[in-house]
């Protein structure tokens, strides 16, 4: 694992943006798996600045949504869908032909997961997976448990996930999570893990211990051959 300690959140975000751009130049049809939340926001904004300078660079890039709050409106401003539309899809000119994501209000959440599983199995591989580190060590909605699910699935959300600022501001009842599974994440060509903020110090130290356990799902990233982990000084302690 390539661990880089960054001077601050801005430094972290610039390094993440530069890495994505380098890979995009090599792989114009790059499939980006996109996380939401505060950690990648500035990275996406910096990608938009690159788009303004050279929008043709993004003409063939595609995006897949990492996870979604289940049972809430796709138009809810605190949904993952609304976040990606605001910070990534619209700023980079990614239309529906180059985007796939969970429908938060599907009549059958299980069938929605099957749809995503089929897409990944038959049509695509993830070139870059952007991840954040949850307060309890989760990645996406792969929560600490005795067992982890390899494929897209309906997730029971932990208390920590329900305390996420997005969920606290939702003003809708969140019933479950929809998420890619651990196998799909670990099959990505490159994983970009972004860890930022003083509140992440404790879980960051647990992650850096390199002890692999289902009770800290992010620890499975130590098994991947190509992970870049960017940690700002606040999170690194």
What is the domain class of 2-236 according to CATH?
alpha beta
What pLDDT shows up at residue 62? 97
d(CA 3, CA 5): 7
Confidence of residue 71 (pLDDT cuts 50, 70, 90): confident
Per annotation, catalytic residue among 136, 142, 164, 232: 136
Give me the percent of the chain exceeding a pLDDT of 90: 84
| CB < 8 Å & 24+ apart, contacts of 203-210 | 203/133, 203/134, 203/135, 203/136, 203/137, 204/133, 204/231, 204/235, 204/236, 204/237, 205/237, 206/137, 207/133, 207/137, 208/3
Question: Could you confirm whether 160 is annotated as catalytic?
Answer: no
Per annotation, catalytic residue among 138, 142, 149, 234: 138
- Is 80 exceeded by the pLDDT of residue 169? no
Confidence of residue 167 (pLDDT cuts 50, 70, 90): low
pTM value > 0.85: yes
Higher per-residue pLDDT: 124 or 33 = 33
Q: In what order do the strands lie in the sheet with 153-155?
A: 67-70, 176-179, 153-155
| CB < 8 Å & 24+ apart, contacts of 107-112 | 109/70, 109/154, 109/176, 109/178, 110/154, 112/178
Question: Could you confirm whether 153 is annotated as catalytic?
Answer: no
Question: Could you confirm whether 138 is annotated as catalytic?
Answer: yes
- Mean pLDDT computed over 91-103: 96
What pLDDT shows up at residue 199? 95
36: alpha, beta or left? (left if phi > 0; alpha if psi -120 to 50): beta
- Is 80 exceeded by the pLDDT of residue 168? no
Confidence of residue 222 (pLDDT cuts 50, 70, 90): very high
Question: Could you confirm whether 123 is annotated as catalytic?
Answer: no
What pLDDT shows up at residue 164? 72
């Amino acid at each position: 694992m390539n661990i880089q300690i960054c001077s601050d959140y801005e430094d972290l975000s610039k390094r993440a943006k530069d890495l994505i751009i380098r890979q995009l130049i090599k792989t114009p049809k790059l499939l980006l798996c996109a996380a939401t939340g505060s950690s990648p926001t500035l990275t996406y904004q910096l990608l938009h600045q690159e788009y303004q300078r050279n929008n043709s660079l993004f003409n063939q890039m595609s995006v897949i949504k990492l996870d979604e709050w289940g049972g809430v409106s796709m138009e809810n401003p605190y949904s993952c869908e609304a976040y990606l539309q605001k910070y990534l899809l619209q700023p980079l000119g990614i239309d529906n032909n180059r985007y796939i994501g969970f429908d938060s209000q599907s009549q059958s959440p299980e069938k929605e997961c099957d749809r995503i599983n089929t897409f990944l199995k038959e049509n695509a591989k993830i070139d870059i997976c952007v991840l954040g580190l949850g307060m309890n060590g989760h990645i996406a909605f792969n929560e600490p448990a005795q067992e982890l699910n390899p494929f897209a699935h309906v997730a029971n959300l932990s208390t920590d996930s329900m305390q996420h600022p997005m969920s606290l501001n939702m003003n809708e009842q969140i019933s479950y999570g929809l998420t890619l599974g651990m196998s799909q994440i670990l099959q990505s060509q490159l994983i970009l893990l972004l860890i930022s903020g003083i509140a992440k110090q404790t879980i960051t130290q647990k992650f850096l211990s390199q002890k692999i356990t289902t009770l800290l799902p992010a620890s499975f990233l130590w098994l991947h051959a190509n992970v870049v982990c960017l940690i700002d000084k606040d999170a690194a302690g």
